[in-house]
């Protein structure tokens, strides 16, 4: 696939640029869009954009594009890569969702820690692939 990207409704300007690039790409393009499911995730609809931002700011759902097999971070994900202190803990993302309520119990804190480990591992893989970091 000559073009692939991730987009979030919280960063719509970034998304529009990627949609345009995908449309202008010769051959197939793939765009993975983040979407909140308030009913299934047991969240308040007013938190949709907040959750969308937190998904990116915690690096759970990083924003990037892959152009002819070369990876590039975009938007807030690029900012976080250059300023790691801006990365938020994944717990901030999890605690707004009823589906993860059990993970906030003291006896299940290990689950949050494991979740953070997995997010961090994935983020490190993406950082190694990104050409613009």
Instruction: DSSP for 79-130, please give it.
Output: HHHH-GGGPPPHHHHHTT-GGGGGGGSGGGHHHHHHHHHHHHHHHHHHHHHB
pLDDT of residue 54: 99
Give the pLDDT band (50/70/90) at residue 66: very high
Tell me the pLDDT of the chain averaged across its residues.
98
pLDDT tens digits for range 72-87: 999 999 999 999 999 9
Count how many domains the chain has: 1
pTM for the whole structure: 0.95
- The helix (H) or strand (E) run that includes residue 36 is none
Cα–Cα nearest to 7, from 68, 70, 56, 79: 56
Residue 75's domain comprises 3-129
Instruction: Evaluate whether 84 touches 69 at the Cβ level (below 8 Å).
Output: no
């Amino acid at each position: 696939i000559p073009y692939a990207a991730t987009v979030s409704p919280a960063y719509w300007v970034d998304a529009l640029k990627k949609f345009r690039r995908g449309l202008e790409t010769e051959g197939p393009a793939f765009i993975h869009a983040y979407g909140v499911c308030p009913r299934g995730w047991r969240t308040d609809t007013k938190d949709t954009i907040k959750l969308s931002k937190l998904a990116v700011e915690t690096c759970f759902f990083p924003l990037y594009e892959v152009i002819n097999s070369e990876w590039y971070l975009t938007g807030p994900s690029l900012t976080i890569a250059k300023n790691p202190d801006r990365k938020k803990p994944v717990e901030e993302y999890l605690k707004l969702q009823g589906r993860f309520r059990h993970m906030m119990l003291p006896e299940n804190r290990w689950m949050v820690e494991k979740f953070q480990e997995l997010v961090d591992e994935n983020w490190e893989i993406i950082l190694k692939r990104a050409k613009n970091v």
